[in-house]
Structure 1
Amino acid sequence: MSSNLLSVSIGLMLSLAAAGPRADELSDLRERLEAQEQRIRILERKLELSEAATAAAVPMTPIVRASPQQGFRIQSADGANVLRFRGVLHFDGRYFLDDFTPATANTWILRRVRPTFEGTLNNIYDFRFTPDFGGGRTIILDAFLAARLQPWAVVTAGKFKVPVGLERLMSATDLRFIERGLPTDLVPNRDLGLQLGGDLAGGVVNYSVGYFNGVSDGSSSDNNTPTPDVENDTRGDWAARVFFQPFLNSDNFALRGLGFGIAGTYVNTTGDTTTTLLPSYRTPGQQIFFSYRGTTAASGTTPAVNGTIADGERLRWTPQAYYSIGSFSVLGEYVTVSQEVSRLTPTAGLRRDRLDDTAWQVQLAWFVTGEAESFRGYTPQSIFDPSKGTWGALELVARYHQLDIDDDAFVGGANSFANIATAASKASAWGIGVNWYLTQNYKWSLGYDVTHFDGGAATGDRPDEKALFTRFALGF
C-alpha cells in the first residue's frame, strides 16, 4: 500500500513538474491579450471622440452664398441659421407736362434707399431690419421678429406692413408701376403691432389678424404726430385679411394663378385740432389733391375756427383679386373707408357725419418677351448682354384707377368738412408704362399717367395732371 502511495506521489510530482512551464506560458499569453484588448478599447474611444468632434464641427462651418433672389447670405451647414443682406435702390425722375403742377415738382429723387438685414435662427425665428434713407429723410421702415411655430401659426411682432391693401402688400421691387395706384391712398402702410397669421391647406388659404397702433389712410407710423412710431391716440386698430388660392396645387395650370380675398381694419377713436387723425390724398405724381379743412388761428377780433377731426368709428374694407396666366396678369382691388368726423364751427356749432370714401383700380401686365407673370418676382429668359445678342425682358403695363370722396364732405359751405375750392371730390387716372428688366436685379421703367379731377379749383375743376416718370431700380 505504501509502495502504491509512493508511486502516486511520484507521478503527481512528475505531472506538476511537466505542467509548470505551460502554466507560465498561458499566464503570459493571457496578460498579453488583456493588454491588447486595453489598447483596442483606447483606440476605439479615441475614434469615437474624433468622430464626435468632426460631427460637432460641421454645423459650425459657415457657408457663404449669393443669388439674385435672396441677395448675399451666410448660413450654417444645416441651413437652420441664416443671415441675409439685401437692398433696394430706386432713383426716380418726375416731369409734369401740365401747366398747373408747380415747376418745383419736376425733379430727380432718391425714392428708396433701403439696405435690409434679415435672417433665421434655429429654422423657426425670423427677423428683419430695414432702414430707409430715401426722400431726404432717415426712418426705420421694417423692424420685426416672427416665430414660425406651425405653417398655420406665425406670430409677428414689431413694425411691418399692415395686411390690408393688395398692391400695398406687393414689394417695391415687384411693382408694375413707378407709383402705386389711388386705392393705396386709403389703406394703411406700415405700423407697429402684433399679428397672428399663416397658411392653411398647403397655402390654399392665407390669413392674418393683428392689433396695431393705428395710422391714417395711406400712412405709416413714422408719419404719426407728435412722435413718430408711437401711438397717436388711445386706441389701436384691429386688422384682418384672408386670401384664397383655390387652384394653387391643381393640375389645371390655367387656374393656378388665381387668388382673391378680403381685408379690413376697425378702430373707434377721436382726434383733436393738433392731431386730427385724418389723411391727405395724393395723385400718382405725389401731389396732394384732397385734404380736410384745418384749424385757423385767431386774428384780431376774428375767433379761431376749428378744423375737421376724426371722431368715432373708422372701418376700412377691401375685396381684392389677382390672376396670372403665362405672360399675362391682372390685379384688381376695391377699397372703401367709412370714417366718422366732426367739426366745431362758430356759426353752425358742432357738425358730425359719417363719410364714405371709395377707390378702385385694374392693372394689366404683359411680358412681351414671354416670361411668366406672377405676384412676386419673375424668372428671366435672358439678360442684357449685347455680346451674346440677348436683351433681357420687356414688360408692358396699363391701368385705370379712381378715388371718390363722399359728397357730404363738401356740404355746408364755409362749415363743410372739406373745401371744394381746394380739395377735389374725385380723381380718375389712367396710366401706361414699360419695364425693361436688364437682369433679375436691374430694371429701367418709363411711365405716363394722366389724372382728371372733379372740383379742387376756385372755379370748376382742377386741371388735369400729366406726369412722366422714369426709374432706375436695383433690387437684390
Structure 2
Amino acid sequence: MKQTRLLVLVVLSAALGSAVLGVSPRVFAQNAGSQAPTVEERLQAIEQRLRDLERRLDAARPQIKENLTSSAVLTEATLDERFEALDQKVRILERRRELEQEAIAAQAKAAPVFGAGGDGFSLRSAEGDFQLKLRGYLQTDGRFFFGDEAQPVSDTFILRRIRPIFEGTVFKYFDFRIMSDFGGGQTVLQDAYIDARFWPQARFRVGKFKSPFGLERLQSATDLLFVERALPTNLVPNRDVGVQMHGDFGRGAFSYALGGFNGVVDGGSGDFDDRDGKDFVGRVFAHPFKPTKVELLKGLGLGVAGSVGNQKGSPTSPNLPGYKTTGQQTFFRYRSDGAAAGTSVADGERFRVSPQAYCYGGPFGLLTEYVFSSQEVKRGAATAQIDNESWHVAASYVLTGEKASYKGVTPRRAFDLGVGSFGAFEIAGRYSQLKVDNDAFPLFANPQTAARKAKAWAVGFNWYFNKYVKFVMNYEQTEFDGGRATGDRETEKAILSRFQIAF
C-alpha cells in the first residue's frame, strides 16, 4: 500500500510540475501581447490541468496495480536465491574458462615445434627429447690445368659434393646422423651412425663415420681453407665402420676418441669388410691455454693421433692405397696386374701416427700436421715394410678483420648490395709434401709411372658472402720426383675454384 501511495505522489508531483511549466509560457506570451491574467484565471487553469491528470491516472491504474502486484512477489528471499543462482553460473563459467585455458596450454606444451632458417629445417617435440633436422651442402668446382702437354688433363666443372644430411635425437640421449653424397655422378653413403650421449665425458658411437685421426680430415668439407685438402690427407683413414668412445673435459679444453674399426687403406673409406684384421684408432687433442685471455694462446690446439692394425690383401683385392694430387690426379700406386706374381698386396701390420696443431688469433690462422704411415707389403715371395710420410703447413689472414677459426669465417656483415656490404675476404697460403719409401721401388711400385715424392705449394682467396655461402679460388703447383720413364712426372699447374652453399 505504501508503495502505491508513493507512486501516486510521484506521478502527481511530476504532473504538477508539468502543469506549472505548461502555464508559464502562456503567461509570458500574454505579457508580451496583452495584460497579465488575473489570479482567478490562473487557478482555473491549474484546476483544469489537475482534472486532466486525474483522468489519465484513472486510466493507468489497472496497469500500475498489475506491476505492483508482480513486484510484491519478489520477496527478499527470492532475490537472494536469484543472486545465488547467478553467482553460481558465473563461477561455473569462470571454471570452464580455466579448464579451457589449461587444455590449450597442455596442447601447446605437447605440440611439435617447427623451425626453418640458415641452419636448416627442424622438427622437435615440445620437451626436446625427439628432434629431426634436415640440412646439407652443395659444392660446384672448376678444375683448369695448363702446361700439361706431356700428360694432358681435362679442364672441367664438377659437382664435387651434393650431400643432404639428416640428423636427430630420439629418447633424449640418442643422436643419429645419415649423410649421402651424390657428387661426381655417384651415390655414396658417407655417414650413418648412432651416438649415445649419456655424459659429455663419455659418449658412444657406432656405425660409419670419420676415423678420429687426421686434423684436416676431421675438418668439415664446408670449412676447408682450400678447395682440396693437402697431401698428408692421402695417408690418413677417411670413413670406416666401427665403434668409438669419445668425450671432452673442461668445456672442450681436452678431448679424446678411441675406437675399433674394420680398417681402411690410406685415404680410403669402407662399408664392408670380409677380413678378420681390424684397426684400432685413438686421438687426443687439447687447448691448454683456453682459459687465458691472450687470444693467440687461447686459440692454440695441440694433438696426436695413432692407429694400429693387421691387414691382408689378395691379388684381386690388394688392400693398398694410391695417392692423388689436389687436382685429383693419381701420382702413385702399387703394382697390380691381377696375378700373384705381379701384384703388391698388404701383408701384415699397418701403423700410423700424426702429431697435429693449429693456432688462431684474431684474423690470423695457422694449421699444420705430420703423418707417418707404415704398411707391411708382399709381392710374390718378396716382402717389405713401406714407410711413407707427409706434412703440410697452411696460414691464412682475414682481410676484413673477422676472426679466423678451425670452423671457418663468419662475416660481420653479410653480402648485401643494398647497404654496400660485401661479406668477408680471406687470403691463404700452403706448402705440403709427401714422400714414398724408397723401398717401394722398383719391386712393389713402378718408378716409371709412380712418383717417389710430391711437393706442392698453393695460394688462395676466399670470399664469404655470409655464414652459408662462399667462393674459393686457388692456384696450386705440384712438382714430382720420378713418375715417368724419362725422369720426373710433369709439374701439375692447376686453378681450382669452388662455389658453395651450406645450411
- TM (norm. structure 2) is 0.79
Structure 2 counterpart of 1:147, from 196, 199, 206 = 196
Question: Which residue is equivalent to 1:420?
Answer: 447
**In the alignment, does 2:332 pair up with 1:290?**
yes
Q: Deviations over 1:345-399 (max 9, x none)?
A: xxxxx11111110000001111101110111143211122222111111010110
Q: The residue matched to 1:59 in structure 2 has which SS?
A: helix
Alignment of 1:88-107 (within 5 A): 88-100=137-149, 102-107=151-156
Q: The residue matched to 1:135 in structure 2 has which SS?
A: helix
Alignment of 1:326-475 (within 5 A): 326-344=362-380, 350-410=381-441, 413=442, 416-475=443-502
User: CA separation in 1, counterparts of 2:361 and 2:265?
Assistant: 36
Residue 91 of structure 1 deviates from its aligned partner by 0.6
Residue 81 of structure 1 deviates from its aligned partner by 2.8
Structure 2 counterpart of 1:134, from 172, 183, 191 = 183
More helix by share: 2
Letter in 2 for 1:291: R
Question: Which residue is equivalent to 1:18?
Answer: none
User: CA separation in 2, counterparts of 1:48 and 1:147?
Assistant: 42
Question: Which residue is equivalent to 2:300?
Answer: 258
Q: The residue matched to 1:202 in structure 2 has which SS?
A: coil
Q: The residue matched to 1:168 in structure 2 has which SS?
A: helix
Is contact 2:231-2:390 (8 Å) kept? yes
User: CA separation in 2, counterparts of 1:251 and 1:99?
Assistant: 50
Structure 1 counterpart of 2:165, from 102, 116, 130 = 116
- TM (norm. structure 1) is 0.83
Is contact 2:471-2:499 (8 Å) kept? yes
Residue 76 of structure 1 deviates from its aligned partner by 2.9
Residue 232 of structure 1 deviates from its aligned partner by 4.0
Is contact 2:143-2:155 (8 Å) kept? yes
Structure 1 residues 59 and 213: alpha-carbon distance in aligned structure 2, compared to 1, 3 A threshold: farther
Letter in 1 for 2:189: I
Is contact 2:410-2:466 (8 Å) kept? no
Q: CA-atom RMSD, angstroms? A: 2.6
Q: Deviations over 1:295-330 (max 9, x none)?
A: 355xxxxxx733111101000110000110000100
Is contact 1:60-1:76 (8 Å) kept? yes
Question: Which residue is equivalent to 2:316?
Answer: 274
User: CA separation in 1, counterparts of 2:98 and 2:263?
Assistant: 59
**In the alignment, does 2:89 pair up with 1:62?**
no
User: CA separation in 2, counterparts of 1:47 and 1:211?
Assistant: 60
User: CA separation in 2, counterparts of 1:55 and 1:468?
Assistant: 59
Q: The residue matched to 1:249 in structure 2 has which SS?
A: coil
Q: Deviations over 1:413-436 (max 9, x none)?
A: 4xx111111100000000011011
Letter in 1 for 2:324: R
Q: Deviations over 1:28-82 (max 9, x none)?
A: xxxxxxx9xx9999999978966764454233223222333x2222223333332
- The structure with the largest alpha-carbon Rg is 2
Residue 254 of structure 1 deviates from its aligned partner by 3.1
Structure 1 residues 352 and 67: alpha-carbon distance in aligned structure 2, compared to 1, 3 A threshold: same
Is contact 2:341-2:379 (8 Å) kept? no
Is contact 2:371-2:390 (8 Å) kept? yes
User: CA separation in 2, counterparts of 1:101 and 1:45?
Assistant: 89
User: CA separation in 1, counterparts of 2:389 and 2:334?
Assistant: 16
Q: Deviations over 1:285-304 (max 9, x none)?
A: 0000000111355xxxxxx7
Unaligned runs of 5+ in 1: 1-34, 222-228, 298-303, 345-349
Q: The residue matched to 1:105 in structure 2 has which SS?
A: coil
Structure 1 residues 234 and 369: alpha-carbon distance in aligned structure 2, compared to 1, 3 A threshold: same
User: CA separation in 2, counterparts of 1:233 and 1:210?
Assistant: 18
Q: The residue matched to 2:484 in structure 1 has which SS?
A: coil
Is contact 1:100-1:465 (8 Å) kept? no
Question: Which residue is equivalent to 2:354?
Answer: 318
User: CA separation in 2, counterparts of 1:127 and 1:276?
Assistant: 33
Q: 77-86 vs 361-370, which deviates more? A: 77-86
User: CA separation in 1, counterparts of 2:365 and 2:274?
Assistant: 39
Letter in 1 for 2:222: T
User: CA separation in 2, counterparts of 1:71 and 1:41?
Assistant: 48
Structure 1 residues 101 and 230: alpha-carbon distance in aligned structure 2, compared to 1, 3 A threshold: farther
Unaligned runs of 5+ in 2: 1-84
User: CA separation in 2, counterparts of 1:307 and 1:165?
Assistant: 29
Is contact 1:101-1:465 (8 Å) kept? no
Q: 383-392 vs 356-365, which deviates more? A: 383-392
Structure 2 counterpart of 1:186, from 219, 235, 240 = 235
Structure 1 residues 296 and 147: alpha-carbon distance in aligned structure 2, compared to 1, 3 A threshold: closer
User: CA separation in 1, counterparts of 2:259 and 2:149?
Assistant: 42
Q: The residue matched to 1:58 in structure 2 has which SS?
A: helix
User: CA separation in 2, counterparts of 1:61 and 1:311?
Assistant: 58
Is contact 1:339-1:356 (8 Å) kept? yes
User: CA separation in 2, counterparts of 1:100 and 1:178?
Assistant: 24
Instruction: Answer 1 or 2: higher relative contact order, Cα 8 Å, separation at least 6.
Output: 1
Letter in 1 for 2:466: T
Question: Which residue is equivalent to 2:247?
Answer: 198
The number of aligned residues is 424
Q: The residue matched to 2:397 in structure 1 has which SS?
A: strand
Question: Which residue is equivalent to 1:86?
Answer: 135
Is contact 1:232-1:275 (8 Å) kept? no
Letter in 1 for 2:282: A
Question: Which residue is equivalent to 2:51?
Answer: none
Letter in 2 for 1:314: R
User: CA separation in 2, counterparts of 1:93 and 1:197?
Assistant: 37
Percent pairwise identity: 48
User: CA separation in 2, counterparts of 1:331 and 1:265?
Assistant: 21
Q: Deviations over 1:164-222 (max 9, x none)?
A: 0000000011001001000000001111111110111222111001111111100111x
Letter in 2 for 1:139: V
Is contact 1:277-1:310 (8 Å) kept? yes
Structure 1 residues 186 and 283: alpha-carbon distance in aligned structure 2, compared to 1, 3 A threshold: same
User: CA separation in 2, counterparts of 1:239 and 1:138?
Assistant: 27
User: CA separation in 2, counterparts of 1:101 and 1:117?
Assistant: 45
Question: Which residue is equivalent to 1:241?
Answer: 283
